[in-house]
Amino acid sequence: MQATTLHDLSLAEAAAAVRSGEVAPIELTDVMLERIERLDPTLNSYITITADAARTAARAAGDAFRRGDVLGPLHGVPIALKDLFDTAGVRTTAGAGLLHDRVPVRDATVTARLQAAGAILLGKLNMHEFAFGVTTANPHFGSCRNPWDVSRIPGGSSGGSGAAVAAALCYGALGSDTGGSIRIPASLCGVTGLKPSYGRVSRAGVLPLSWTLDHVGPMTRTVTDAAIMLNVIAGHDSADPASAGIAVMDWTANLEADIRGLRIGLPRAYFWEGCEPGVLAALEEVAAVLRAEGAEVRDVEIPDLALAGLAFPPIISAEAAAFHQRWLRQHPGAYGDDVRERLETGALYPATQYINAQRLRRIVTEGFLTTLTSVDVLLTPATPVTAPALADTVVATPNPLTRCTFPINLTGLPALVVPCGQDGAGLPVGAQFIGRPFAEDTVLRAGRAYERVTEHHLRRPGVY
Amino acid sequence: MTAPGTNGSAKEQLRQALIAAGIDASDERIAQLLPAYQGLLAGAARIAQLDLGETEPAVIYRLPSPE
C-alpha cells in the first residue's frame, strides 16, 4: 500500500489492513506522526505528542502480529484522546494551566479499553479549558484551528479531536460531551461524532465538568468507525456510579441494513429557528435523501422543549462550580477569563434553582420520550451555524453553537452527528440523529444509510 | 431569591453572594460578573413563575441494590 494514501484510510480500513498483514502498525504510526509534525504547527490540535511511546507500542503490535497474537479490533491503529482522559504516565491537562504538569498514575477506563483493543496512542488533544466552552480558544496551550479554514474555530470543547480527525492526524479520537462538545466540533470540522446514551460509556478517569450531563464518545471520519470505537469503549463499569447495566452489542452488525419504514421526525419548531440558510438547505436535502431511501419522514413537535434553556444553565454551572470550588478559591487567576467567569457565576446558583432545574429536566426528557413513541429517530441540524471566525470567539449567551445539542444532554439520549453539506464558504454542515434511550444502533443505522448514498464524509479540508 | 432588580441592587446582591461563596468581591470582579449574574437572576425568576406541580427532580438518590 502506498505510504502517500495510508493517512486517507478510515479506521476500519486501517484495522483491516493491519489484520491482513498488508500494513504494519509502525507504518501507520509513522505516517500519522509525520503528518502531525508537518501540519499540527498550523492546527495546534495536539497538546502532547507521545511519538516515542507510540512507535514503541506500534513495533510491539507488529511483533505480536507476527507471533499470531492479535490484541483486538484496533490492533495497531493509531488514535488520540482529548486531554481529559487519564493516561497513566502521560501528562493529562484538561487544557488547563492549573494542571499543566499533571501526570495520572492510572488510565481512564476507556483509555484502558482502547489499549486492550490494540490501539496505539499518538497523543493528547487540545480542548477548551476544563471542557467549559465551545471554541477551543485555549489561553494556556494556544487556540486550535479548523482545518477547513484556519482563521476559524474547530468548535469545542473537543476541538482538538475534531480538527485532528478531519485533518487525518489520527484514525479516530475520543471526545467528551456535556452540552455538545463532541457534536459541535464534529459539525464544524465535517466529521462524525457520537454522543452515546448517558451511562453507556464509562466516565471513570475522565475529568468531570458536570456529572449528570457528561458523556464520552468517539469522533471519526465515518459512521462505521464510530460504531467500531463504541464497540470497544461501551459497557458497564463499576468505577462509574452512572454506568448503566445495559447489555452491549456489536454496533457494526446492523449498520448496512436499509431504513425502509424507519420513522424520522423533524422537530422544526425550536431546532430550525436561528439556523443559517445554508444549514437549513442542507437539512432539507438530508430529509429528501432519507425519504428516497425509504424512511417515513414527517414533522413532529417536542412538548415543553422551550424549558430546556431554563434547565441547562443552572445544572452545568452549579455542578462545575462544585467540582472546581477548592481550586477556584485557591487559584482563581490560574483560570482563563471565560472559564473563571462561568465557574464563579456557577457558584452563585441557589440550591432551589438547581433542584428546580432538575425538575424541569424531567419534563423536557418526558417531552422527547413522548415524541419518540411516534417516530424512531429525530433529525435536526447539529449546529445552527458553520464555523465562526477565531476573532469572534466572544460569543453571545446563550451560545448559538449549543442550541441544537444541549437539550440532548439533559435527556441523556443517544445522538449522532454526520457531515451533510457545506455552506457558501465551503464550510461543513452537520446533521444530528437523536434516538431512544440506548438505541445507538438505530441512530448509527440511520446515519450510515445517509452516508452510504452521499459523499460529504469523503470531502477533505484545506489543511490535509 | 429575589427577582432581578435595579442594576444597583443586583450589584449589591452579587457582592454579598460572592462574599458568601468565598470569591473575590472586588469592584472589578463585580463588573465582570454582573451581566452573567443578572442572567442567573432572570432565569431564577422565570423558573419561579412555573408551576412544576409534583414533578420530582431528574436526579434521585438510589440505594445500591443488595448483592
What digits encode the pLDDT tens for the residues A8-46? 999 999 999 999 999 999 999 999 999 999 999 999 999
Residue of A nearest to B32 (CA): A341
Closest partner CB to A361 (pick from B36, B43, B58): B58
Q: Do A360 and B47 touch (CB under 8 A)?
A: yes
Q: Is residue B15 part of a domain?
A: yes
Q: Is A282 left (phi over 0), alpha (psi -120 to 50) or beta?
A: alpha
DSSP strand pairing (A415-422 vs A192-195):
antiparallel
Res A428: pLDDT: 98
Strands, DSSP E only, in A141-220? 173-177, 192-195, 215-220
- Give chain A positions within 8 Å (CB) of B44: 350, 353
Spatial CA neighbour of B59 closest among A198, A37, A342: A198
pLDDT of B2 over the 90 cut: no
Query: Average pLDDT, whole number, for chain B?
Result: 88
Distance, in Å, from the CA atom of A453 to the CA atom of A147, rounded to the nearest integer, reads 25
Q: Is residue B67 part of a domain?
A: no
Reported as a pLDDT band with limits 50, 70 and 90, residue A1 is: low
Q: Which helix (H) or strand (E) holds A328?
A: helix A308-330
pLDDT of A155 over the 70 cut: yes
Smallest Cα distance from A307 to chain B, Å = 9
Smallest Cα distance from A407 to chain B, Å = 14
Q: Do B56 and A329 touch (CB under 8 A)?
A: no
Res A362: pLDDT: 98
Distance, in Å, from the CA atom of A328 to the CA atom of A103, rounded to the nearest integer, reads 21
Summarised one tens digit per residue, pLDDT across range A366-406 is 999 999 999 999 999 999 999 999 987 655 555 889 999 99
Distance, in Å, from the CA atom of A187 to the CA atom of A401, rounded to the nearest integer, reads 10
Q: Is residue B25 part of a domain?
A: yes
Closest partner CB to A345 (pick from B33, B48, B55): B33
Q: Is A362 helix (H, G, I), strand (E, B) or coil?
A: helix
Locus of grid cell 413532529 = A300
pLDDT of A260 over the 70 cut: yes
Residue of A nearest to B39 (CA): A397
Q: Is A412 left (phi over 0), alpha (psi -120 to 50) or beta?
A: left
> What's the whole-number mean pLDDT along residues A306-323?
98
Smallest Cα distance from A413 to chain B, Å = 14
Smallest Cα distance from B49 to chain A, Å = 11
- Give chain B positions within 8 Å (CB) of A361: 57-58
> What's the whole-number mean pLDDT along residues B48-58?
96
> What's the whole-number mean pLDDT along residues A248-272?
98
- Give chain A positions within 8 Å (CB) of B39: 313, 397
Locus of grid cell 454506568 = A243
Which residues constitute the domain of residue B38?
7-48
Q: Do B36 and A345 touch (CB under 8 A)?
A: yes
Closest partner CB to A363 (pick from B36, B37, B55): B55
- Give chain B positions within 8 Å (CB) of A362: 55-58
Summarised one tens digit per residue, pLDDT across range A162-171 is 999 999 999 9
Q: Is residue B30 part of a domain?
A: yes
Q: Do A353 and B17 touch (CB under 8 A)?
A: no
Closest partner CB to B47 (pick from A310, A347, A362): A310
Return the minimum-mean-pLDDT range out of A189-193, A328-332, A393-397.
A393-397
Spatial CA neighbour of A410 closest among A463, A375, A359, A349: A359
pLDDT of B5 over the 60 cut: no
Q: Do B23 and A353 touch (CB under 8 A)?
A: no
Reported as a pLDDT band with limits 50, 70 and 90, residue B64 is: confident
- Give chain B positions within 8 Å (CB) of A349: 40
Q: Do B57 and A341 touch (CB under 8 A)?
A: no
Reported as a pLDDT band with limits 50, 70 and 90, residue A191 is: very high
Chain A interface with B: residues with Cβ < 8 Å: 212, 307, 310, 313-314, 328-329, 332, 341-342, 344-345, 347-350, 352-353, 355-363, 365, 397, 410
Counting residues of chain A whose pLDDT is more than 90, the rounded percentage is 96
Kindly give, in sequence order, each residue whose CB lies less than 8 Å from that of residue A194, ignoring residues fewer than 6 positions away. A182, A217, A218, A219, A226, A230, A414, A415, A416, A417, A440, A443, A444
Res A294: pLDDT: 98
Q: Do A212 and B37 touch (CB under 8 A)?
A: no
Q: Do B1 and A350 touch (CB under 8 A)?
A: yes
Kindly give, in sequence order, each residue whose CB lies less than 8 Å from that of residue A34, ignoring residues fewer than 6 positions away. none
Res B35: pLDDT: 96
> What's the whole-number mean pLDDT along residues A325-338?
96
pLDDT of A246 over the 60 cut: yes
Res B4: pLDDT: 46
Return the minimum-mean-pLDDT range out of A125-139, A320-334, A383-397, A431-445.
A383-397
The DSSP letter of residue A171 is S
Q: Do A345 and B1 touch (CB under 8 A)?
A: no
What's the CATH number of domain A3-458, 3.90.230.10, 2.40.110.10, 3.40.50.2300, 3.90.1300.10? 3.90.1300.10
Summarised one tens digit per residue, pLDDT across range A69-119 is 988 999 999 999 999 999 999 999 999 999 999 999 999 999 999 999 999
- Give chain A positions within 8 Å (CB) of B57: 355, 358-359, 361-362
Please identify every residue of A annotated as catalytic. 82, 157, 181
Domain count, chain B: 1
pLDDT of A335 over the 80 cut: yes
Res A392: pLDDT: 72
Res A398: pLDDT: 59
- Give chain B positions within 8 Å (CB) of A342: 36
Domain ranges of chain A: 3-458
Closest partner CB to B58 (pick from A314, A329, A362): A362
Res B67: pLDDT: 63
- Give chain B positions within 8 Å (CB) of A312: none
Size of interface A-B (CB pairs under 8 A): 77
Res B63: pLDDT: 79
Q: Is A260 left (phi over 0), alpha (psi -120 to 50) or beta?
A: beta
A392 by Cβ neighbours in 10 Å (0-12 / 13-18 / 19+) ranks as exposed
